[in-house]
Amino acid sequence: MENAIIIRYCEIHLKGKNRGFFEKLLKENIKRSLKGIKCDFIPMHSRYLIENFDDSDYDLIVEKLHKIAGIHTISKALVVDSTFENIFEAAKTLVAEKEGTFKVITNRADKTFSPNSMETSRLLGGKLLELFGKKISVDVNEPSFCVYVDIREDGKSFVYTDVEHCLSGMPVGSAGKGLLLISGGIDSPVAGYMTAKRGMKLDCIHFHSFPYTGEAAKEKVIELTKKVGEYNGGINLYVVSFTHIQEAIHKHCPEEFMITLMRRFMMRIAERLAIQQGDQAIITGESLGQVASQTIESITSSNSVVTMPVLRPLIAFDKIDIIEIARKIDTYETSILPYEDCCTVFLPKFPAIKPNLERVKKAESKLDVEGLIEEAFKNVEKYVF
Ligand code: ATP
Ligand code: MG
């Protein structure tokens, strides 16, 4: 009797002719994630199997599988040679730790196995009741647990009781590449996670304002980027100095447009970097109406300087729902650490909530936009996680 983990995938099933492409990507993503852990990875029909791992690595493997987009469910199973006695032994081991109502569900791919599926379930259920009748009883409609028996064509059978839900979504890399604008806040890491979950491979860009923002603020962003990277099969972070741009805006433009103009620079620089890196979209953590810079007028103003699609997965999310996801992906506690962000450094007392695009452009005309962008590009730091 050996331990195995069954991995099932989801929407990939629906992709018709592209199925091979999605399966290959998912397979590569799982293999990459488990690199360095001793185990065998076996592709099977419509699922994958992990075998021959040390029991002490089980939790680590499960933790990693929970971060791979495209995996729908997993089960820890016992694998036995297909005889009724072996199957019963495995079921006995699993049910010894259970109580409540149950039913047995048998799936017989090997049609030469006798008895048939119905009969196997019936006999197995009966024998389990004989043994554990004091703490379990049968309920075929709403059982508190199931005993699953998969009799494979290759002479082996799986027996398991638990089906754990994983991320679902699509394999990372199946939906192109995008550049995430990541700040030290709560929203952008969540936006990145959600986009990665739908299959987009991410790069990240962060703007910092040294010396106005310190090393600790940058470390915080690095920490958040790494967390997002766990769902992305690794990640690149580009850190761009924003100090001169902010100083120039502060010096030459009306205070009310500070944030609006900063956003326009961020978008321009992001688009340029995205093109360089082969990213096909820009992703932000904006949510409609959350702050002054996220009114439709502000979004119109920052959007109008780029032609690349800008994805805003959180646009219609309430903060409370964003926080729930941030907690789930373990970015929340880092995000709320109290370090300054480049946007808070030159925060105006009364920012324009509904900036008029013509007035914004007029304010911006005081600046050497191209020169400032060129300069920012001279000192891009790259981190690979
Ligand atoms: P977040 O929680 O993601 O910081 P926020 O609610 O604080 O968002 P803003 O500060 O208005 O909102 O930022 C809106 C979006 O602009 C962010 O979600 C992020 O995508 C991008 N952004 C803001 N500041 C930076 C920065 N310093 N570097 C890179 N992107 C940034
Ligand atoms: Mg922010």
This prediction has a pTM of 0.93
Q: Which of 180, 188, 302 to mutate to test the pocket of ligand 1 (most atoms within 8 A of CB)?
A: 188
- For residue 343, the model assigns a pLDDT of 67
What band does 11 get if pLDDT is binned at 50, 70 and 90?
A: low
Mean per-residue pLDDT, 248-257: 96
Residue 324 has pLDDT above 80, yes or no: yes
Confidence category of residue 15, pLDDT binned at 50, 70, 90: low
Nearest residue (by CA) to ligand 1, atom 14, is 286
Mean model confidence pLDDT for the chain: 95
What is the pLDDT at residue 12?
61
pLDDT digits (tens, 9 = 90+) for 49-81: 999 999 999 999 999 999 999 999 999 999 999
| pLDDT score for 14 | 64
Cα distance between residue 335 and residue 332, in whole Å: 5
**Rounded average pLDDT over 107-111:** 95
pLDDT at 246 over 80: yes
pLDDT tens string 175-189: 999 999 999 999 999
Which amino acids bring their CB within 6 angstroms of ligand 1? 181-183, 185-188, 205-207, 266, 284-286, 290-291, 293-294, 341-343
Nearest CA to ligand 1 atom 25: 183
d(CA 116, CA 119): 5
| Atom number of ligand 1 nearest to Cα 287 | 6
Query: Ligand nearest 335 Cα, by number?
Result: 1
The whole-number average pLDDT for the span 119-127 is 97
Residue nearest to atom 22 of ligand 1 (CA): 183
Q: Are 256 and 351 in contact (CB under 8 A)?
A: yes
Ligand 1 atom 18 nearest Cα:
285
pLDDT of residue 46: 82
Contact residues for 327 (Cβ-Cβ < 8 A; gap 6+): none
pLDDT tens for residues 260-287? 999 999 999 999 999 999 999 999 999 9
Residue-wise pLDDT tens digits, 204-241: 999 999 888 889 999 999 999 999 999 999 999 999 99
Going by alpha carbons, the residue nearest to atom 11 of ligand 1 is 293
| pLDDT bucket at 165, cuts 50 / 70 / 90 | very high
Banded model confidence at residue 128, pLDDT cuts 50, 70, 90? very high
Once rounded to an integer, what is the mean pLDDT over residues 108-115? 95
Q: What is the pLDDT of residue 13?
A: 60
pLDDT (average), residues 239-256: 96
Atom of ligand 1 nearest to the CA of 189: 3
Q: Which residues surround ligand 2, an ion (CB under 5 A)?
A: 183, 185
Q: In this model, does residue 379 exceed pLDDT 80? A: yes
Q: What is the pLDDT of residues 88-99, one digit of tens each?
A: 999 999 999 999
Does pLDDT of 161 surpass 70?
A: yes
Local confidence band at 10 (pLDDT 50, 70, 90 cut-offs): confident
